[in-house]
Amino acid sequence: MSAVSEFEHLSKDDLIKIILQLQKKIVELENELKKYKNSNTPPSSNKHLKPNTRGKKSKSGSKRGAPTGHKGTTRKQTIDRHEVIDADNCPRCGSDNLGDEQVLKRVVEEIPEPVIPETVENEIHKKVCLDCGHHFIPEHNTVPLKGKFGINIMILVIFIKFLLRGVLRKAVKFLRTGFALKLTPASVNAIVGRVAGAACREYNELKQRIRKSEIVYVDETSFSVLGKNQWVWIFRTLHEILLVVRPSRGSPVLKEILGTDYRGKVICDCWRAYNFLGILQRCWAHMLRKAEDLKETIFGRHLYEKLLALFKEIKRFNSTNPTSEERAEKYETMTKELTATIKYYSRYEELKGIITYIGNNLGNWFTCIKYEGIEPTNNFAEQALRETVIVRRIIGAFRSENGKQNYETLASLLSSWQLNNFITRDNAPF
């Protein structure tokens, strides 16, 4: 029986009742979808909601593979030693009358067999200078003065926990199978806490550098701590990332980190907590996503196209390396153009929400024109938050205040070092 024939025998009232039920269901599903796909969620967060391109053809004339001039990815290998793999006897009959049928040459990279940990008793001489009374420990000492694990084990644990996003029980399993190192989840957690404690000084210095920065990108996302909703805040500069976890999503967090009289430029979304800050660049990516949601109507599509044209003009103008005078003039011109645009489209009821959204922040859309070195979007901060979003999906929540504090300290330092390709054993803060 076809889908149409199922309803042929129903009365008009029954059909109306079904239509109303379906309409209600559509509204419920649309509201549920908005939790995952909305203007505040970057497209990269919902790859499963993107259009299916399977089976579609590529552009005419395009070729598969890397573009012309693309550098290859084959590793250049430097030979460290030469090994000969030969045989003296036939494995079948035992004869030593052998000849080479072919010599195969293979150059491979290899790591040593897993190292079995050793227990070392260290005798550390704490010295006193008999002339000046100075007390010290030899500078070349690398043995931690607390705990029973050496620095190499501690570094390995931190890399597994943070760079590989390993949960405690999997970190324990990896260390046992790979290194015959018998630790418990509590031991791994204790190592993380000890390293975070040793890194506190560097973390506090990072906070001070963020406060003194001229340009900072800021964003926040939710994270459960002991069953209660808190917020992970990201403060990103060109070279550093600071992460803090706080119960508040309000301006007190910004005042704590940046200060009440911060004079730098802040790139952020339109969340009202940022309003007290002096120089703001509101995120065009958020604005364009909101506008794109309205493209189903003809006036919504026209507004989106005009806003997109303004965004492209920002990128074009900034690429010309303009002078300060040209920047000031362009700022006024584009602000007036945006003002005229929202005034015109404010007559349409379906666009009321986005017009209010743009109008409430009218002076903050072209700060990137007025000042050099500012991006028109907050993508830098959103990118820095992605790692925490992935961690949230893996662990679900922080189950202690100590766990939260350890994460914000070590995640900040490690992500900052990664940003500068600066993660080595020698710069470990512990």
pLDDT in tens, 345-357: 999 999 999 999 9
Question: Is the per-residue pLDDT at 400 higher than 50?
Answer: yes
Question: Is the per-residue pLDDT at 404 higher than 50?
Answer: yes
Q: Provide the mean pLDDT of the chain.
A: 88
Tokens in use for 81?
């030693």
- 78 vs 399: CA distance, rounded Å: 47
Binned at pLDDT 50, 70 and 90, residue 409 comes out as very high
For residue 127, the cross-strand partners are 136
Question: Is the per-residue pLDDT at 423 higher than 60?
Answer: no
pLDDT score at 224: 96
pLDDT score at 168: 92
Binned at pLDDT 50, 70 and 90, residue 18 comes out as confident
- 204 vs 196: CA distance, rounded Å: 12
Binned at pLDDT 50, 70 and 90, residue 289 comes out as very high
Question: Is the per-residue pLDDT at 430 higher than 50?
Answer: no
- 35 vs 214: CA distance, rounded Å: 34
Amino acid sitting at position 147:
G
Q: Which helix H or strand E contains 5, and what residues bound it? A: none
CA 149 to chain CA centroid, nearest Å = 31
Q: What are phi and psi of 45, to 5 degrees?
A: -80, -15
Binned at pLDDT 50, 70 and 90, residue 394 comes out as very high
pLDDT in tens, 49-88: 555 555 555 566 666 666 666 666 677 788 989 999 999 9
Question: Is the per-residue pLDDT at 3 higher than 70?
Answer: no
pLDDT score at 324: 95
pLDDT in tens, 200-213: 999 999 999 999 99
The mean pLDDT value for 263-281 works out to 95
Alpha-carbon distance values, 355 to 92, 165, 218, 270, 346 (Å): 85, 42, 24, 13, 6
For 35-88, give the DSSP string: TTSSTTS-GGGGGGGSPP-TTPPPPTT--SSSPTTPPP-PPP-----------S
Q: What are phi and psi of 241, to 5 degrees?
A: -130, 125
Contact of 210 with 216, CB cutoff 8 Å: yes
Percent of the chain scoring above 70 in pLDDT: 87
pLDDT in tens, 124-152: 999 999 999 999 999 999 898 888 899 99
Q: Kindly tell me the sign of the dihedral angle through the C-alpha atoms of 407, 409, 411, 414.
A: negative
Alpha-carbon distance values, 95 to 84, 86, 101, 407 (Å): 20, 14, 16, 64
Alpha-carbon distance values, 146 to 153, 181, 261, 401 (Å): 14, 19, 41, 22
User: First CA to last CA across the chain, in angstroms?
Assistant: 73
Q: C-alpha angle 229/231/233, rounded to 5°?
A: 175
Question: Is the per-residue pLDDT at 362 higher than 70?
Answer: yes
Cβ-based neighbours of 267, under 8 Å, separated by 6 or more: 215, 216, 217, 218, 280, 281, 283, 368, 374, 375, 377, 378, 380, 381
Tokens in use for 427?
């710069």
Question: Is the per-residue pLDDT at 239 higher than 70?
Answer: yes
The mean pLDDT value for 402-412 works out to 96
Binned at pLDDT 50, 70 and 90, residue 43 comes out as low
Residue 135: helix, strand or coil by DSSP? strand
- 197 vs 184: CA distance, rounded Å: 20
The mean pLDDT value for 400-415 works out to 95
Question: Is the per-residue pLDDT at 179 higher than 90?
Answer: no
For 219-266, give the DSSP string: EEEEEEETTEEEEEEEEE-SS-EEEEEES--SHHHHHHHH-TT--SEE
pLDDT score at 350: 93
